[in-house]
Amino acid sequence: MALVFRRLPPISLCLVACALFTAGTSYANDKAAVATYPNTADGLRQRLADLLTTAKTVDQTALAALLKSDLEIPNFPAWFNKTYGKNDGKDFAEGYRMNVDYDEFRFAGLLKQFAESGGSIVTRKINDGAEPADAAEVAKLDSMNKPIDIYFAFWSPSISGPAQRQPIGYFMFIDGAFRWDNAGSKRFLPAPSGANNDAP
């Protein structure tokens, strides 16, 4: 049986072309709508500033869900193995899996506290010089098999007086985005309501 090819009328060709153009434009708009932040201290500051803006309009649970989708380490078992080696990487990955959801919820609460107060975000790249007084920073850089860009952020209150800067936490630039280091930042999280400061 012979196949018969029919020429589409001009109006049909026009409709097909319009549909393809619309789909391509929609895809481009969707891609453009995803914010990207440069791998710099200022890029992290912008990322956190946008998170604080969002924190003003959503509750803690919704903010924690956003942190999970945007700031978690993708394919974290493989990443930990590559970065710390098989033995340490396996242990770190298991600790990450067990704690990250709970830590994200607490971190969301911390961000909401900052969002509701006046102040500014200050960031620095620890690869450019770890804080000598902070042994954890020096150890973090020394323990990695694969160099990773790591940043630290803190909140500087705008109120006058002896108010001190409050740590926000550590962030790593992985796969083109900033990821929150929950293990390194855990000590800065507020204790859960009704718990002591030793709570995980």
Q: Facing residues of 172 across strands? A: 150, 179
Beta strands in 93-149 (DSSP E): 119-125
pLDDT digits (tens, 9 = 90+) for 118-144: 899 999 999 887 565 567 777 777 788
Q: Which residue has the tokens 């694969």?
A: 146
More confident residue, 73 or 4: 73
DSSP 8-class letter at 39: S
Distances in Å between the Cα of 18 and the Cα atoms of 7, 13, 25, 29, 30 are: 18, 9, 10, 16, 18
The domains of the chain are located at: 41-188
Q: Does 200 score more than 50 pLDDT?
A: no
- CA-to-CA separations, 58 to 49, 51, 108, 113, 118, in angstroms, rounded: 15, 11, 10, 13, 18
pLDDT tens profile 152-183: 999 998 875 556 789 999 999 999 999 999 99
**Among 189, 184, 114, 196, CA closest to 155:** 114
